[in-house]
Copies of this chain bind each other. A is one copy, B any other.
Amino acid sequence: MIDDFPDGAGLPGGLLLRSPIPEDQRRVLAVLDVWWAGFGGAAGSRERSLLLPRLFFQHFTDSSFVVERPDGALVAFLIGFLSQSQPEVAYIHFVGVDPALRRRGVGAFLYQRFFTLAAARGRTRVRCVTSPGNAASVAFHTGLGFQVDPGDAATADGVPVQQDYDGPGLPRVTFTRILTGPQEER
């Protein structure tokens, strides 16, 4: 159904989109170690495992995506869900794209796809977070129509930050994007 994507945007040459299955969790963790060049060593790898426990690949598969090359290699993923207790909200938890495919629109494709899905299921806002040090991520999100939520601090560039948002020493920039309706439900 990739050809039906409303904005006319597609995935680059031959990439395939599908919903994740539980066995994809270990594949995602393995490629993250490669894509992040082993950032943080064994502790970094373990932290990524804790951020992406298997439950996300079991219980939220209908609002998440993996992208593969025709040879089966995993090149991108998006893990998101529909908020259970905030019926107007959908949430994007974790997105990764193979560095070799960056700037090809794969990340934007996955976000747009999630917006379409969320709007079709009655959601009017998408929320997500990123780390304050990641200026590229902030630019990516604002480029997709996200607004930065107010903070209690700011980066050197003036981006609002919520200190200790996810725990002590885990500040976050948080984003909200309004889903404007029918055009995102096509």
Contact = CB atoms under 8 A, between A and B. Distances in A.
A168 B45 contact: yes
Interface residues of A, number: 37
Contacts of A54: 165-167
Number of copies: 2
A29 B83 contact: no
Interface string A83-97: 111100101010000
Interface string A61-86: 11100000000000000000111111
Contacts of A26: 164, 167-168
B53 A166 contact: yes
User: Which of A50, A52, A82 has the most chain B CB atoms closer than 10 A to its own CB?
Assistant: A50
Contacts of A167: 25-26, 29, 45-46, 48-50, 52-54
Given A26-B168, A62-B85, 10 more contacts: A25-B167, A45-B168, A48-B167, A49-B167, A50-B51, A50-B166, A52-B167, A58-B83, A58-B86, A59-B86
**4 closest A-B pairs (Cβ-Cβ)?**
A49-B167, A59-B83, A50-B50, A62-B85
